[in-house]
Amino acid sequence: MREQYQEQLDGLAAGLADMCDQTAVALDTATRALLDCDLPLAEEVISDDVKVDELRADVEEKAFELLALQAPVATDLRIVVSAIHVATDIERMGDLALHVAQAARRRHPDPVLPEEVQPYFAEMGRVGVMLARKAGEVIRTRNLVAAEELESDDDAMDDLHRHMFTVMMDRHWPHGVAAAVDVTLLARFYERYADHAVAVARRIVYVVTGQMPGPLAV
């Protein structure tokens, strides 16, 4: 019975890590759709979003079953409760990748982004994908060093997000209000995606240590 119970706990972690991998693929594909004005890629992200929702539902079902049937305590209870919170964060990452893809589809065949900001969004996409994949590895390994590294890794995304405002506040911005709104929203999507990846890592710190790290800096 104990071996089966441990397998169920391990299954929660595997499901959450798979969710991270799925959202990493979604953001990578959505970013390529955004930069290349590629409608099929945007549609792929939009249609695949249901996969993340299904993975979350599966994780939550297993977590509630463990709570009801096994009455976990101590570390095991932290694992189960944290799995529910983490599933929510990862699903939100998928939703944010979806929003990027929807923006690409909405403006097609026109580009969403002015050419001068496209390299910054390419980098935001790269950083976001790296954070999601690293969060998945933290879930699999419970590596506290890697979990803490995600906090500093997120600084790169924050810097890019702030830089977008510097670019748009330039009085010589020639692209009009609609482009400024698109850039602002999209930059926010990437920044929030990264914040949720960090939140996932922080939950793993709580699982291992029993202490939740302090609040994220805003």
Q: pTM score, two decimals? A: 0.93
Q: Which residue has the higher pLDDT, 98 or 6?
A: 98
Residue 123 lies in a domain: yes
Mean pLDDT to the nearest integer, 109-119: 94
Q: What is the CATH number of the domain that holds 165?
A: 1.20.58.220
Residue 135 lies in a domain: yes
pLDDT for residue 217: 45
State the Cα torsion 112-117-120-126 to the nearest 10°: 20
Number of H helices, E strands in the chain: 6, 0
Amino acid making up residue 75? T
Cis peptide preceding 215, ω within 30 of 0: no
| pLDDT tens for each residue of 129-188 | 999 999 999 999 999 999 999 989 999 999 999 988 888 777 788 888 889 889 999 999
pLDDT for residue 218: 40
pLDDT for residue 119: 95
Residue 216 lies in a domain: no
User: Into how many domains does the chain fold?
Assistant: 1
* Least confident stretch, 68-72, 89-93, 119-123: 68-72
Residue 32 lies in a domain: yes
Mean pLDDT to the nearest integer, 20-46: 98
Cα end-to-end distance, the chain, whole Å: 45
Lookup: tokens for 213: 């790290």
* Model confidence band, residue 127 (pLDDT cutoffs 50, 70, 90): very high
Residue 217 lies in a domain: no
pLDDT for residue 71: 86
Nearest alpha-carbon partner for 138 in 13, 23, 15: 13
pLDDT at 3 over 70: yes
Amino acid making up residue 193? Y
pLDDT at 216 over 60: no
Phi then psi dihedrals of residue 143, to 5 deg: -80, 110
Residue range(s) defining the domain that contains residue 7:
2-209
**Rounded alpha-carbon distances, angstroms, from residue 202 to 15, 145, 147, 165:** 18, 11, 7, 28
pLDDT at 84 over 70: yes
